[in-house]
Amino acid sequence: MSSAAPAKGAPPNTRRARHARSSRPPGRGARTARPAGLWRDAWHDLRRRPLFAVSAVLIAVILVMAAAPGLFTSVDPYDAAGCVLGEARGGPSAAHWFGTDNQGCDTYARTVYGARNSVLVGLSTTVLTALAGGLLGLVAGFRGGWLDAVLSRVTEVFFAIPSVLGALLILSVFRTGTVWTVTLALAVLAWPMTFRIMRASVITARGQDYVVAARGLGASAGRLMFRHILPNAIAPLIVVSTINLGVFIAAEAGLSFLGLGVQSPDITWGLMIADARARFHEAAGPLLFPAGLLSVTVLAFIMLGDAVRDALDPKLR
Amino acid sequence: MTGITGGTPSVLPAWEGGAAPRREPLLAVEDLHVEFATRQGVVQAVNGVDYALEAGQTLAVLGESGSGKSVTAQAIMGILDTPPARVTRGRILFRGTDLLGLSEENRARVRGRRIAMIFQDALSALNPVFTVGWQIGEMFRVHQGASRREAERRAVELMDRVRIPGAARRLHDYPHQFSGGMRQRIMIAMAVALEPELLIADEPTTALDVTVQAQIMELLAEIQRESGMGMILITHDLGVVADAADRIAVMYGGRIVEHALVHDAYRAPAHPYTRGLLDSIPRVDRKGRELHAITGQPPNLLDLPPGCSFAPRCPYRQGDCAVEAPPLHRIGPTRGSACHYWREVLDGSHG
Amino acid sequence: MAATGDPVLEVRDLVKHFPVTQGVLARRQVGAIRAVDGVSFDLRRGETLGIVGESGCGKSTLARLLTALERPTSGSVRVGGREITRMKGAELKRVRRNIQLVMQDPYTSLNPRMTVGDIVGEPYEIHPDVVPAGRRRRRVQELLEIVGLDPDHADRYPHQFSGGQRQRIGIARGLALRPEVIICDEPVSALDVSIQAQVVNLLGRLQREFGLSYVFIAHDLSVVRHISDRVGVMYLGTMVELGRDADIYGRPEHPYTLALLSAAPVPDPDGRERRERIVLRGDPPSPADPPSGCRFRTRCWKARDVCAQQEPPLQVRPGASHESACHFPELYAGPRPR
């Protein structure tokens, strides 16, 4: 075909034209009886996606595990009395489903209890980055000018820092690693990403005609930002934050593995993997089970993010 | 397949064919149906379209957004995305050969070479990373195996032909360096490069200003006069149709509701929709009064009403219109109307 | 549509230049897009002034200047006798009640996350003293009824309406504060042909009912002629001709107006073979670098040396019936039409 054929077989009239005569998909303006907002439409759509169902079930299980590990195991791994050195590196058995680790502690119970710290880091970092990056991005994108220029240059500096090195620097300030220091380190390194995403989508929304119309009515900056721009610009941030949850959980495991993150005797998957690594050839269980649950958790959040993105994508509706 | 590879002219000169030479149409669309599968359901974009076109003729397909006019053209061109689109019924006869029955390979041989198309948005139809000279020349290199130098020479010729000032100088410019009107000329140059027998122009001037629109329409008419190609002009603009077309086919809700010679349709429309459109044009003598507006909204293609899809907006509506979809009634040798009450509409036009 | 009384909108020597900048760190101005370059006109109560012109002529920038969405580089805009170009804050907010905008694209001008009731009622939230909170819902329903929509649909979202219905929603929003002046920026050009007439009729009806004044910006000459009492023709940021509709369409003086009128396709095939048409050469020049003197001279068949040296002012010339900005206007003998 000659190159004079764009938008190969685009559904009728979905291409935008200057006079927008053909901007409407056929049969649009479907006069349905039920009032439905775009959010509700997206929710209806999301519920029907198998990807959403699978990831939601997985995430629900992990969240319950983090909130109430006692539901999954009667063993308390924080009680050292439960560990019998003589049973160290035992294989799976009726008493120890996943076997035991170097100290003779129950790997299953430790894996279950490890979920809390991982989920805690993931959730708190996500909330922190979404709030900080989102709000700064909203203001920078809306105001523009010197404020935007300064903030954008600052984020560029952050992007230039290698993340492991950055985390090392930040965490070395504190004497000991905890869930909260890890959260802080990750949030400091990750907010520029949410900032940029929010800023870009705010700049797109800011120029929309309905924002111009609201300005023409005399709407205040707050009304423009929070009533008109934010609801129309937040979708990418939601998608990225969902995926970030998984990414931060993986990052926490990585930092703890390197000994920079959460410290013993706290239990996290990263630490468990680090401890089990040296004796992997003697006992694979203590490494494989936390690593497996970590992978499943990260995957579940990434799948959820994918499903949410598809549901929110305005091009498809 | 002979219709495609064999180039025997099927149009007999009048003196050889006797009193009434039967002319085989260049293109005949018969009972075409196209559906789109969307998330909201099946969109019935084209619901039984019939039209025919002879060589050298201009057929204007008039319709609003969602009327199916562009989808029909994309089906002829074979550039519908399938899925979501699906041709569920019908034939597209090009010089007697059903294009829908051809293999993709044979179809590709027709596309671009014997049927070409131009679009409303020339900027997105041209590749931004190649020079226009390269893109025009590509037609000759790919389809005719011309050498680079030869292709370039003919690209300049073509650019001259579509009146791009300083063609040789601008050969190595990129699409964004041209104005909207000039880009449209470049797209026309590419479309007519291989001297197609049929040119489909889909809203070729909608994105252009009035003064530039006049230039482009003049250019198209001139190329057509010289080459004798058939042209399907897809538009929503009653003025463009009146200026340029021989025949008109009016589409509504994915169907042809009226087809006629242009003069006949404008003098006395035979379908209430055509009539409504013509009546709604602002006229000097009606200044200060209300325009005759068609009431209601365009149909929802996800949920077409039973019977005639124009019935909910139609002033001639009777009880049976909502039940039975009117066939395309023949009115004389050159005309058809898909209205049960075409006689009343036709009479009303005179009064 | 009889225009009476004092002007409700006075525009004098309005100029808007958008700076063109270069450089990443130290931005320096290298030029300017002269979007609007010295436009003056009056709009009287109950009158419709049509503005026609092609893309890049500055008509959309003009709409934004008139509604104080952009600040002009220089010049003055007075609404009800009050200068708005330097207004700020509460004062500007107050004057906005009097001048509202209806936009071109009904698919982008309504916030997709708000219900129609919230969209039409938003003016009352921004200006809470116009209608007390308890009566706003009723008022919104009245407005929807006025523009021909079902008031029970107030809790629906814009995407549930067709293009024509959405434009009615936009008009209802513009009407909510009972402005005297509405700037219509291509209000029907994004609509299907069969819907355009409905919206034109609605605008006409609202004008009679509420005594509105319109600045009606469009590129469709026949729609502008239908709705306007006076018409201004713009080319590259300047007004090249301004007069009563019958004068502009019946005895155009500026060559550009002539070309524009003759280029517009006539929806009647009869006699098309004999129709004489002025087809202009080339495209309009860039507003970043307009020609010296008369801006139309590069495409004008009447251009002479003087056209490159002197910019013709917009004025009534000897023997002419209305204002035009041409050194060699087309002049007509005989009485003025109508």
Q: What is the pLDDT of residues C274-300, one digit of tens each?
A: 878 888 877 788 888 889 999 999 989
Determine, yes or no, domain membership for A36.
no
CB nearest to A232's CB, from C64, C105, C112: C112
Q: Locate the chain A residue with the closest alpha carbon to C187.
A: A19
List the single range of A99-108, B217-226, C217-226, C262-271 with lowest mean pLDDT. Answer: A99-108
ipTM of this complex: 0.87
Contact B43 A29 (CB under 8 A): no
Which one has a higher pLDDT value, A38 or A66? A66
A220 contact residues in C (CB cutoff 8 A) = 126
Determine, yes or no, domain membership for A17.
no
Q: pLDDT value at position C142? A: 92
- Strand B41-53: give its sheet, edge to edge: B41-53, B27-38, B85-94, B97-98
Among C237, C268, C209, residue whose Cα is nearest residue C53: C237
Determine, yes or no, domain membership for A78.
yes
* B195–A contact, CB cutoff 8 A: no
Question: A113: domain CATH number?
Answer: 1.10.3720.10
Determine, yes or no, domain membership for A46.
no
Global model pTM greater than 0.80 = yes
Determine, yes or no, domain membership for B313.
yes
Determine, yes or no, domain membership for B209.
no
The pLDDT > 90 percentage for chain C reads 55
Task: Answer with the one of B140, B160, B193 that is the final residue of a domain.
Answer: B193
C64 contact residues in A (CB cutoff 8 A) = 212
List the chains bordering chain A where 3 or more Cβ pairs fall under 8 Å: B, C
Whole domain around residue A57: which residue ranges?
Answer: 51-316
B263 contact residues in C (CB cutoff 8 A) = 269-270
Which one has a higher pLDDT value, B277 or A45? B277
CA–CA gap between residue C248 and residue C237 (Å, rounded): 19
pLDDT digits (tens, 9 = 90+) for C25-68: 566 777 888 999 999 999 999 999 999 988 888 888 999 999 99
Determine, yes or no, domain membership for A14.
no
CA–CA gap between residue B112 and residue C101 (Å, rounded): 46
- A residues 7..26 contacting B (CB < 8 A): 7-13, 15, 17-19, 21-26
B36 contact residues in A (CB cutoff 8 A) = 11-12, 26
Residue of A18, A22, A47, A48 to mutate for B, most B C-beta atoms under 10 A:
A22
Mean pLDDT of chain C: 89
Contact C177 A217 (CB under 8 A): yes
Supply angle C-alpha B133, B138, B144, rounded to 5. Answer: 130
Determine, yes or no, domain membership for A262.
yes
Which one has a higher pLDDT value, C218 or A37? C218
**What's the structural domain count of chain B?**
2
CA–CA gap between residue C192 and residue B165 (Å, rounded): 35
Mean pLDDT of A79-87: 71
Cα torsion angle, C266, C267, C271, C273, sign = positive
Cα torsion angle, B88, B93, B96, B97, sign = negative
CB nearest to A8's CB, from B81, B139, B236: B81
Contact C279 B242 (CB under 8 A): no
The Cα of B154 is separated from the nearest Cα of chain C by a number of Å equal to: 23
pLDDT digits (tens, 9 = 90+) for B92-104: 988 888 888 888 8
- B residues 56..85 contacting A (CB < 8 A): 65-66, 68, 70-71, 74, 77, 79-82, 84-85
pLDDT range class, residue C3, cuts 50, 70, 90: low
The pLDDT > 90 percentage for chain B reads 13
Contact A1 B74 (CB under 8 A): no
Q: pLDDT value at position B96? A: 84
Determine, yes or no, domain membership for B338.
yes
Mean pLDDT of C72-90: 91
Whole domain around residue B301: which residue ranges?
Answer: 271-350
pLDDT digits (tens, 9 = 90+) for C128-137: 998 988 899 9
Determine, yes or no, domain membership for B11.
no
Domains, chain C: 4-21+31-98+179-266+273-324 (3.40.50.300), 112-178 (no CATH)
Task: Answer with the one of B140, B166, B193 that is the final residue of a domain.
Answer: B193
Determine, yes or no, domain membership for B140.
yes
List the single range of B13-27, B169-183, C35-49, C145-159 with lowest mean pLDDT. Answer: B13-27
CA–CA gap between residue B182 and residue B116 (Å, rounded): 19
Residue A253 clears pLDDT 50, i.e. is over it: yes
**What's the structural domain count of chain A?**
1
Task: Answer with the one of B172, B193, B214 that is the final residue of a domain.
Answer: B193
Which one has a higher pLDDT value, B303 or A97? B303
Please report which helix (H) or strand (E) contains residue B9, including its range.
none
Give every CB contact of residue B210 below 8 A, 6+ residues apart in sequence. C54, C219, C221, C260, C263, C264
Residue C311 — φ and ψ, nearest 5°?
A: -80, 120
pLDDT digits (tens, 9 = 90+) for B259-268: 999 999 998 8
